[in-house]
C-alpha cells in the first residue's frame, strides 16, 4: 500500500520522466488557450529539501507535514523531494513518482515564487536505486537539507547515508523520534538539529534576555535546584529546556553536581505550557518563568537580592515552518 | 556593546534576539517620520518577537498630547504605513508600555521631567533599562536636545555598562563642513562616539548591505574590482516626485545636501572601499573614511566636475507637472538645485583613472536608485568589424537598490542559428522573487541595530565630515555665483545637458535604468 504517497498532491509520472514533466508543469496553456507566461523568472530555488517520511507516519500526518513544507517554501523557494516508504512492503522493486508545483503570489508585482515538488514512493527493495532517483530530482549545486520525520528506528535511518552525509543540516523532531535519535552516531553528527530546540526559540530568547541583565555569577550563587514543570504533551520540550538551562548555568559558573534538575508534570490548570523555577539557598531569592502557550502569555517573577521583579510578556512556540527555517539556517 | 563578551544566556541567540530592556524616546513624536517609519518599525519588530519583554516607547514633543491620544495616533500610523496589518493583540502589548511627555526642546525642566519619567519606568521594572534617544526633529533643535540630554544626566546613564544610553540622530548632519564639525563638537560634548548612531536609512536597505556580501563573499568579483577591469562607475539616486509641500525645507537644502552628500556618497564608499579586516563596525567605517578621503578635490566652475539644474515643467507618468520655480514656497529667482551630478576621481592604487559618476534629482523619469559597474571591453578584434552581426555591449553589473531590489549582469551571448551572431543578454537576480517582498524595512533593521549596540550601518562623525569636505566647496561656489550656470531639465526626463557633458569627455553616457 502506498497510503502516504496517495495522500499527497501531484500528478503521477514515470520516474524516468520527472525532469521533463517538471518543465511541462509551467508550459501548459492557459484556460483561454493562450500560452502561459514563462515563469522562469519566478522560479528562484534557493535550496534542496528532502523530506523523508518514516514508517510511523500516517497519511493524515503526511498531509499535515506537507502543508508545513509548502508554507516554508513560500518564504524559501526550494526544490522539495518527498520520500514515501511503503508501509506494508512489497516484494517487487517499486519506485513511483508524482510531480507538483505551486506559485505563491505576494504583495508586489515581482513577488511571485514558484516551487516544485517531487514525491517518490519506494519499496524496501528499491532502496539501492533511491540515491540516483533523488540525485536527478535535486537542483544542482544548491545546498541540501534533510528532514527525517517520524522514523521508527535510528539504525534504519542510518541506511540513508547518501542523504545524512551530504546534507548541510539533518532535521529531526526528538518528540517524534526514537529515544536514541539525538545521541545516535550519525555520519554527520554536527549537522543534526532538533526541531524541538528550534520550536523553543521564543522561550530561550525570552528567558535569555531576561536573565542576561544579571551578572552570571549572581544567577548561580547559592543555586540549588532547577525545576521544570510541563503540560503532559510537552515532555520533549521540558527535556530540551532542562538541557539548555543546564548548559547555560554551567557557562555562568554553576557546578552541575550541586544543582538538582527536576522535571515534573504540571497540574492540569496549565493546559499547554512550562514553568521554570530556580531555587536558591538564600531566603527570598528566586526566579520563576511561567509560559502558557495556549494563551500566548508568559510571566517572569524574580528576586536576585535587589527586590522583586514581575514582568508579563508574550510567548509562544515557533510555528512549524518557522521552526524549520530556524533549524536550517541558524 | 558589540565589543563586550556575550552573556552566557544569550549564547546561541542571534545578535538581534539579545536586546536588553530598553526605552526608546522619540523626539519629534508627532512628526511625519515618526508616523511613517518609526512607529511601524517598532510595531513590526514586536510582531517578529525581536523586542525585549521589557520594552517601552516614550514620545516627546512640544505639543501636549495625552498618553491615550498618542497611542491612538500611533495605531493610526500603523494602519496607514505599516507593511503588516494592525493586529490588536500585538499592538496592545506595545501600547501598554507607550506614553508621552510634553516639553520644549530647549526647556531644561522638561528634560528633568523626562528623566523622572524614565527613572519611574526603571523603578517599576526593578531592573536597569537602556535609554535609546531618537532625535527625529528639524536640525535647528539638535543642539538644545543634545545639551539638555547632557545636563539632565540622561546621556550618561549607565555609562560604562553594555546598556549605556545611546542616541540616534537623523540627517542632515550639518549643512556644510563648518556646521557638521560644530554639530560633532556638540554631540561629543555630551555623548562618546560609541553612543552615537547617525542614521542614513539607505544603509539599512537590503541591497546596500548585499553590496558588501557580493563584493567580499564571491571570489569572482573582487579580482576584477579595480582600474584594470572597470571602466567607470555610475551611481544614480533618482526621484520621480517634485518638492511637493516641502518647498520651504528644500529651498534651504537642495539636492547636493539632501541626497548627494549623504546617500549617494555612502553608496560610493561601500562600492569603492578596500576589504575591511573584519565585519566589526569600526573596521568597516575605517575603510569607508579612507576611501572618502582619497577622493580628489573637485574642479569647480565652468567645464568642471559638477553640474546642477532645476526641473522645468514637463510630463510625469503622463501628467503635466509644473517646474520647480512654479512650485509653492519657491523663490522666483531661486538658486536651489533640484538635480546635481558629479564626476569624481579616487586617488588610490585601486581606482586611479576610473571615473565615478554620481547623480541625483527630483522629477526624473522614474524613481530608481542603482550602482552600475561598467567593465572594460575585451581586447582584440575577434568580434569587431561587423557591427550588424556582432551586437556587443560592455559588461555591466548593476545593483538596483530601489525599487525592485536586485542585481543584474549584462553579458554577450551567441544568438541561436546557423550564422554566428551576438547579442547582449541580461542575467537578473530579484530579491522579491527569491526572498519575497515582505521583508523588514530599513528602519526596523537600524532601530534594532542601535538597540543591540551595532553601529556598522550608521555613519561615524569623521565619515560625515569627510563627505562634507568634498561637497562644501561646491556649495560655497554656487552661493557665490547665484543662478549663473544653473541648467534646467524637463520634469520627467533623465537630467540636463550639462550633466551629459560631464561624461562625454570620456565617451561615456548616462544610463537610463
A42 and B CB contact within 8 Å: yes
d(CA B117, CA B115): 5
**Across the interface, do A309 and B11 touch by the CB < 8 Å criterion?**
no
Arithmetic mean of pLDDT, B55-61: 96
Start-to-end Cα distance in chain A: 38
- Cell triple for B66: 495625552
pLDDT at B431: 81
Whether A245 is in a domain gets the answer yes
pLDDT at B416: 86
- The closest of A210, A58, A280 to A149, measured between CA atoms, is A58
What is the ipTM metric for this complex? 0.89
Q: How far is CA A84 from CA A61, A120, A122, in A?
A: 12, 6, 6
> What phi and psi, each to the nearest 5 degrees, are found at residue A48?
-105, 135
Whether A11 is in a domain gets the answer yes
Q: Is the pLDDT at A125 greater than 70, yes or no? A: yes
What one-character-per-residue DSSP string does A106-127 give?
A: -SSTT-EEEEEEEEEEE-GGGH
Residue-wise pLDDT for B282-313, tens only, equals 999 999 999 999 999 999 988 899 999 999 99
**Across the interface, do A208 and B10 touch by the CB < 8 Å criterion?**
yes
> What phi and psi, each to the nearest 5 degrees, are found at residue A169?
-140, 145
Q: Out of B17, B125, B432, whose CB is closest to A205?
A: B17
d(CA A74, CA B458): 32
Q: Is the pLDDT at B24 greater than 50, yes or no? A: yes
pLDDT at B246: 84
Residues A128 and A229 in one domain: no
Range of the domain at A307: 201-314
- Cell triple for B126: 526593578
Arithmetic mean of pLDDT, A201-225: 95
Arithmetic mean of pLDDT, B308-319: 91
pLDDT at B423: 87
pLDDT at B6: 87
Q: Is the pLDDT at A90 greater than 70, yes or no? A: yes
Chain A residue at shortest CA distance from B437: A111
Residues A296 and A208 in one domain: yes
Q: Is the pLDDT at B386 greater than 90, yes or no? A: no
Q: Is the pLDDT at A310 greater than 50, yes or no? A: yes
Arithmetic mean of pLDDT, B17-37: 94
A 109-148: CB under 8 A from B: 110-113
3-state secondary structure B393-410: CCCEEEEEEECCCEEEEE
pLDDT at B435: 76
Please give the residue that has the higher pLDDT: either B389 or B417: B417
**Across the interface, do B12 and A204 touch by the CB < 8 Å criterion?**
yes
Q: How far is CA B377 from CA B365, B395, B421, B498, B500, in A?
A: 29, 7, 18, 27, 22
Q: What is the set of active-site residues of B?
A: 263
| Strand partners of residue B198 | B169, B459
Residues A169 and A87 in one domain: yes
Residues A94 and A188 in one domain: yes
0.90 exceeded by the pTM? Answer: no
**Across the interface, do A213 and B128 touch by the CB < 8 Å criterion?**
yes
Start-to-end Cα distance in chain B: 41
Cβ contact B162:B453 at 8 Å: yes
Domains parsed from chain B with CATH numbers: 8-170 (3.40.50.720), 203-504 (3.30.360.10)
Pairing of strands B396-402, B406-415: antiparallel
B423 and A CB contact within 8 Å: no
Q: How many domains does chain A have?
A: 2
Arithmetic mean of pLDDT, B353-364: 97
pLDDT at A270: 67
- Cell triple for A32: 483561454
**Across the interface, do A311 and B13 touch by the CB < 8 Å criterion?**
no
**Across the interface, do A314 and B17 touch by the CB < 8 Å criterion?**
no
Give the number of C-alpha atoms closer than 13 A to the C-alpha of residue A54, restricted to the C-beta side: 21
d(CA A97, CA A84): 10
Residues A206 and A273 in one domain: yes
d(CA A190, CA A210): 29
d(CA B341, CA B320): 25
Q: Which of A76-90, A207-221, B283-297 has the lowest mean pLDDT?
A: A76-90
CA distance A99 to chain B (A): 21
pLDDT at A29: 54
- The closest of B463, B460, B469, B462 to B176, measured between CA atoms, is B469
d(CA B470, CA B474): 8
Task: Identify the residue whose cell numbers are 564608499.
Answer: B269
- Cell triple for B387: 557591427
Chain B residue at shortest CA distance from A205: B17
Residue-wise pLDDT for A144-182, tens only, equals 999 999 998 998 888 888 899 999 999 999 999 999 999
pLDDT at A43: 59
Residues A24 and A166 in one domain: yes
Mean model confidence pLDDT for chain B:
92
What one-character-per-residue DSSP string does A190-256 give?
A: GGEEEHHHHHTHHHHHHHHHHHTTS-HHHHHTTEEEEEEEE-GGGHHHHHHHHHHHHHHHHHTT--G
**Across the interface, do A205 and B430 touch by the CB < 8 Å criterion?**
no
d(CA B4, CA A322): 30
Q: How far is CA B50 from CA A209, A270, B16, B83, B262, in A?
A: 10, 26, 7, 16, 29
Cβ atoms within 10 Å, residue B202: 21
Query: For an interface test with A, which of B53, B55, B87, B123 has the most A Cβ atoms less than 10 Å from its Cβ?
Result: B53
State the count of interchain CB pairs (< 8 A) between A and B: 107
Residues A20 and A61 in one domain: yes
Whether A319 is in a domain gets the answer no
Cβ atoms within 10 Å, residue A42: 22
Give the rounded distance of the alpha carbon of B461 from its chain centre.
Answer: 15
CATH (domain of A307): 3.40.30
* Phi-psi label, residue A227: left if phi above 0, alpha if psi -120 to 50, beta otherwise: beta
d(CA A51, CA B57): 44
Q: Out of B20, B163, B433, whose CB is closest to A110?
A: B433
Cβ atoms within 10 Å, residue B244: 11
Q: Is the pLDDT at A37 greater than 60, yes or no? A: no
Q: Which residues of A touch B127 (CB under 8 A)?
A: 213, 309
Arithmetic mean of pLDDT, B45-73: 95
CA distance A3 to chain B (A): 34
Residues A181 and A278 in one domain: no
| Strand partners of residue B167 | B133, B196
Task: Identify the residue whose cell numbers are 514581575.
Answer: A310
Q: Is the pLDDT at A80 greater than 60, yes or no? A: yes
Q: Which residues of A touch B435 (CB under 8 A)?
A: 75
Whether A320 is in a domain gets the answer no
pLDDT at B1: 39
Q: How far is CA B234 from CA B130, B215, B265, B484, in A?
A: 42, 17, 12, 26
**Across the interface, do B13 and A205 touch by the CB < 8 Å criterion?**
yes
Whether A265 is in a domain gets the answer yes
- The closest of B169, B171, B159 to B261, measured between CA atoms, is B171
> DSSP 3-state assignment of A28?
coil
B14 and A CB contact within 8 Å: yes
Residue-wise pLDDT for A243-266, tens only, equals 999 999 999 999 888 899 888 877
Residue-wise pLDDT for B115-128, tens only, equals 999 999 999 888 88
Q: Is the pLDDT at B336 greater than 50, yes or no? A: yes
Residue-wise pLDDT for A281-308, tens only, equals 998 999 999 999 998 999 999 999 888 9
* Per-residue DSSP letter, B264: I
Cβ contact B154:B58 at 8 Å: no
Arithmetic mean of pLDDT, B494-501: 95
**Across the interface, do B20 and A212 touch by the CB < 8 Å criterion?**
yes
Whether A101 is in a domain gets the answer yes
Q: Out of A205, A249, A330, whose CB is closest to B49?
A: A205
Whether A175 is in a domain gets the answer yes
Q: Which residues of B touch A142 (CB under 8 A)?
A: none
Residue B2 binned pLDDT confidence (cut-offs 50, 70, 90): very low
Residues A229 and A264 in one domain: yes
Residues ≥6 apart with Cβ < 8 Å to B109: B103
Residues A100 and A65 in one domain: yes
Q: Where are the alpha helices (DSSP H) in chain A?
A: 3-7, 18-25, 59-75, 127-137, 154-157, 161-164, 195-199, 201-211, 216-220, 235-251, 320-329
Residues ≥6 apart with Cβ < 8 Å to B154: B111, B114, B115, B118, B131, B133, B165
Residues A108 and A190 in one domain: yes
> DSSP 3-state assignment of B308?
strand
- Cell triple for B481: 555665483
With residue B145 as reference, give the H or E element that holds it. Answer: helix B142-151
Residues A124 and A208 in one domain: no
Whether A100 is in a domain gets the answer yes
B453 and A CB contact within 8 Å: no
A207 and B CB contact within 8 Å: yes
Amino acid at each position: 500500500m502506498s497510503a502516504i504517497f496517495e495522500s499527497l498532491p501531484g500528478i503521477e509520472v514515470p520516474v524516468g520522466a520527472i525532469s521533463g514533466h517538471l518543465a511541462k508543469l509551467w508550459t501548459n496553456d492557459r484556460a483561454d488557450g493562450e500560452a502561459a507566461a514563462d515563469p522562469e523568472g519566478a522560479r528562484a530555488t534557493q535550496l534542496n529539501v528532502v523530506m523523508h517520511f518514516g514508517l510511523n507516519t500516517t497519511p493524515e500526518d503526511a498531509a499535515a507535514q506537507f502543508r508545513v513544507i509548502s508554507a516554508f517554501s513560500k518564504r524559501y523557494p526550494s526544490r522539495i523531494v518527498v520520500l514515501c516508504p511503503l508501509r506494508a512492503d512489497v516484494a517487487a522493486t517499486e519506485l513511483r513518482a508524482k510531480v507538483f508545483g505551486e506559485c505563491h503570489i505576494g504583495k508586489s508585482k515581482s513577488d511571485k515564487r514558484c516551487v516544485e515538488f517531487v514525491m517518490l514512493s519506494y519499496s524496501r527493495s528499491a532502496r539501492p536505486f533511491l540515491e540516483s532517483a533523488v540525485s536527478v530530482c535535486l537542483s544542482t549545486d544548491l545546498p541540501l537539507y534533510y528532514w527525517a520525520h517520524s522514523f521508527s528506528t535510528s539504525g534504519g535511518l542510518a541506511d540513508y547515508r547518501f542523504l545524512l552525509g551530504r546534507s548541510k543540516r539533518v532535521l529531526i523532531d526528538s518528540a517524534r523520534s526514537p529515544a536514541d535519535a539525538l545521541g545516535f552516531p550519525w555520519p554527520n553528527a554536527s549537522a543534526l538539529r532538533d526541531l524541538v530546540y528550534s520550536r523553543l526559540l521564543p522561550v530561550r530568547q525570552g528567558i535569555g534576555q531576561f536573565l542576561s541583565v544579571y551578572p552570571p555569577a549572581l544567577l548561580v550563587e547559592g543555586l540549588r535546584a532547577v525545576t521544570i514543570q510541563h503540560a503532559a504533551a510537552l515532555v520533549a520540550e521540558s527535556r530540551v529546556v532542562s538541557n539548555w538551562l543546564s548548559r547555560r548555568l554551567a557557562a555562568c559558573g554553576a557546578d552541575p553536581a550541586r544543582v538538582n534538575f527536576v522535571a515534573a508534570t504540571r497540574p492540569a490548570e496549565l493546559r499547554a505550557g512550562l514553568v521554570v523555577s530556580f531555587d536558591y539557598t538564600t531566603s527570598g531569592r528566586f526566579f520563576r518563568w511561567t509560559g502558557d502557550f495556549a494563551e500566548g502569555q508568559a510571566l517572569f517573577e524574580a528576586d536576585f537580592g535587589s527586590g522583586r521583579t514581575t514582568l508579563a510578556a508574550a510567548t509562544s512556540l515557533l510555528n512549524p515552518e518557522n521552526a524549520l527555517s530556524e533549524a536550517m539556517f541558524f | 556593546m558589540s565589543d563586550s563578551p556575550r552573556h552566557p544566556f544569550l549564547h546561541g541567540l542571534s545578535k538581534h534576539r539579545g536586546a536588553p530592556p530598553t526605552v526608546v524616546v522619540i523626539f519629534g513624536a508627532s512628526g511625519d517620520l515618526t508616523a511613517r517609519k518609526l512607529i511601524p518599525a517598532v510595531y513590526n519588530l514586536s510582531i517578529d518577537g525581536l523586542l525585549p519583554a521589557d520594552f517601552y516607547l516614550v514620545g516627546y514633543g512640544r505639543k501636549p498630547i495625552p498618553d491615550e491620544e498618542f497611542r491612538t495616533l500611533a495605531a493610526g500610523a500603523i494602519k496607514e504605513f505599516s507593511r503588516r496589518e494592525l493586529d490588536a493583540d500585538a499592538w496592545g502589548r506595545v501600547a501598554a508600555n507607550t506614553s508621552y511627555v510634553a516639553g520644549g526642546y530647549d526647556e531644561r525642566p522638561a528634560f528633568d521631567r523626562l528623566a523622572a519619567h524614565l527613572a519611574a519606568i526603571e523603578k517599576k521594572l526593578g531592573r536597569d533599562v537602556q535609554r535609546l534617544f531618537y532625535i527625529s526633529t528639524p536640525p535647528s533643535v539638535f543642539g538644545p536636545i543634545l545639551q539638555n540630554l547632557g545636563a539632565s544626566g540622561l546621556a550618561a546613564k549607565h555609562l560604562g555598562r553594555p546598556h549605556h544610553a545611546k542616541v540616534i540622530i537623523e540627517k542632515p548632519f550639518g549643512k556644510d563642513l563648518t556646521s557638521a564639525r560644530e554639530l560633532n563638537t556638540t554631540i561629543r560634548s555630551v555623548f562618546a562616539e560609541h553612543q552615537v548612531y547617525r542614521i542614513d536609512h539607505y544603509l539599512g536597505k537590503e541591497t546596500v548591505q548585499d553590496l558588501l556580501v557580493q563584493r567580499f563573499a564571491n571570489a569572482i568579483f573582487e579580482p576584477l574590482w579595480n582600474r584594470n577591469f572597470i571602466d567607470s562607475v555610475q551611481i544614480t539616486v533618482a526621484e520621480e516626485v517634485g518638492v511637493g509641500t516641502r518647498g520651504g525645507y528644500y529651498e534651504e537644502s537642495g539636492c547636493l545636501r539632501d541626497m548627494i552628500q549623504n546617500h549617494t556618497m555612502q553608496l560610493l564608499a561601500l562600492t569603492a572601499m578596500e576589504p575591511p579586516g573584519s565585519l566589526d563596525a569600526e573596521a568597516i567605517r575605517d575603510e569607508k573614511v579612507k576611501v572618502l578621503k582619497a577622493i580628489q578635490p573637485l574642479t569647480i566652475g565652468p567645464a568642471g566636475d559638477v553640474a546642477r539644474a532645476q526641473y522645468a515643467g514637463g510630463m510625469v507618468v503622463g501628467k503635466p507637472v509644473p517646474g520647480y520655480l512654479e512650485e509653492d514656497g519657491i523663490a522666483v529667482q531661486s538658486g536651489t538645485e533640484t538635480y546635481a551630478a558629479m564626476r569624481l576621481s579616487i586617488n588610490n592604487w585601486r581606482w586611479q583613472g576610473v571615473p565615478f559618476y554620481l547623480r541625483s534629482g527630483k522629477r526624473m523619469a522614474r524613481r530608481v536608485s542603482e550602482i552600475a559597474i561598467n567593465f572594460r571591453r575585451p581586447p582584440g578584434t575577434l568580434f569587431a568589424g561587423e557591427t550588424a552581426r556582432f551586437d556587443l555591449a560592455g559588461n555591466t553589473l548593476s545593483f538596483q537598490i530601489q525599487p525592485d531590489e536586485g542585481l543584474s549582469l549584462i553579458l554577450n551571448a551567441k544568438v541561436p542559428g546557423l550564422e554566428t551572431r551576438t547579442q547582449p543578454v541580461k542575467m537578473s537576480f530579484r530579491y522579491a522573487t527569491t526572498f519575497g517582498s515582505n521583508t523588514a524595512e530599513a528602519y526596523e533593521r537600524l532601530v534594532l541595530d542601535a538597540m543591540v549596540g551595532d553601529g556598522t550601518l550608521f555613519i561615524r562623525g569623521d565619515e560625515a565630515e569627510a563627505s562634507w569636505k568634498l561637497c562644501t566647496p561646491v556649495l560655497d561656489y554656487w552661493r557665490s555665483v547665484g543662478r549663473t550656470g544653473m541648467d534646467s531639465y524637463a520634469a520627467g526626463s533623465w537630467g540636463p545637458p550639462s550633466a551629459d557633458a560631464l561624461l562625454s569627455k570620456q565617451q561615456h553616457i548616462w544610463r537610463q535604468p
